[in-house]
Structure 1
Amino acid sequence: MIRTVLAFFAFALVVCALIVFRPFSESQDMAATGSASDVEVTRAITPAEPVVAPAAQAIQPQPQAPRPRRPETSDVSMDDMTASVLADLGFETETPEAPNVEEQQIETTAGILASIESVTGQQVELAPRQTLRTLVVTALREGQSDDYIDALVNEAAATGRVTVPEVMVTSDGRVDTAVLLENLVTHAIIASGGNVPVPDVDPTTNPGVEVRVVQRAQDAVQARFYTVQTGDSLGAIAVKFYGRVDLFDRIFEANRQTLSSPDLIRTGQRLVIPALDA
């Protein structure tokens, strides 16, 4: 009986010792290893990566529209061209019809090809070529409008199919068909005995026109100047100030220091406009 009591007492002591010493042991273990509730869990802080903007797309140069081909000029004068067109239309003018330069060139080329054929025995056909004269005459006979003729001639000039008088080339590289049509009317008026009045150009209503008083040795005279506008041709400027295209050479000669050719006028260029009586 005593042994049983002692055994039970010993067992109770062991249980009490386990109860007392286990929390102390766990606290030491947690101190050594850390507890989930006592240990601060942190994420590793990595250096902030620089924000890289998407690579800028390479700016591709936009294809530029091809510049329109500058009209090729011929040696034929405006008066000769006008006389030829009027002659084809059945009008008689005081200006004798001059031989067409383009047609003469075609005949010369045809003669050269004929000589080559006679030597080689190979036949070469010369493609028919249009001329400014034939284009305008055909359009006028068909009763086409001024706008139609302008588009027709400019398209032919831009592709190199026709050449034009120098005085018809504008400051932006087009063909001033209005000058040719104006000259046709002027020559018809002159042929019928009429007169072409000299325009009175008012500087207040005409952009680019400038009138200044120039003091000379003995007196003071009025000098006129004109700043070339977009779309102007030397022929159009002559019509503006003199009423006639064929007087363009007055302006050209007065500006030879800055104007090397009648077809090379530039927008913004300042021209001297001499008086007709000078």
Structure 2
Amino acid sequence: MSLSPPRRDRRGTKKNEPAAAIPPVRTRTLPMRRTALVRTVVWVAVAAGPLALVASCARPDAVVRTQPAPAPRAGDEKMPAADPAGYAELFLDLWLRSGSDEQSAAAQQLRTMAPSIRPPSFGKATPVVERLAAVRRVPQGGSAWSVTVAVRFKAPAKSTEAEASGAVRYFALPLVVKDAGKGPGTAQGFIVPTAPMEVAAPGAMDEPDSAYGTQLPDESDLAVTAGEFLGAYLGAEEGADRYLAPGVTLPALGGSPFEAVQ
């Protein structure tokens, strides 16, 4: 049995027969829109660079506002340590004055500061303190100090010139630093472990060379001018303005006791 090739139907469409449906043509609009969108984004990014540079150059510099540091409160800082020289002067003054009367206010305050320290015993002749001055402070390592205080006592009414000239005595006072605590507002103080001890006077230091290395004759013009200026300025004579350069003023010394300058 032989197969014949299909024949093309050349019949025309009849009047009442519907035409065959034509399949729709598919378009590629979606890929074309996506490509256009990507291209637009790229151009916008390229154009945004120069525009941003121009805008940054035209914009004024921003002011950086710094916040002020908060003010320290009264209880946040640690109080500075007490001065060992001042504390030694105060303690030695109380210690010397409490020896004359154990019931005095000085003796009571001394017992408050150092209950284990006994006041001195002077006997019949009780010295009277006239002035105190710390003359030396030496750290002893760690938190210990040794302060030497010079004390000038009032000379007795019936004293000779030699007794009056030897009225200055020296005392060494040991001190130990005590920390009152670690919290805010705490201060450091001192503890006196032993009673003051009388010591020798500190050694005298070598005198430095005089700053005036040239001696002028009294009749020289410089010596005469300097003497006249000092005499006028100190009140021995009237008017020191004639010795001053233009525009230079000096405060007047009221009540000057000087009478002459040599």
Select the structure that is richer in helix: 1
* Structure with the greater alpha carbon radius of gyration: 2
Select the structure that is richer in strand: 2
The interval holding the TM-score normalised by the smaller chain is under 0.3
TM-score by length of 2: 0.25
TM-score by length of 1: 0.24
Query: RCO greater where, 1 or 2, for CA within 8 Å and sep 6 or more?
Result: 1
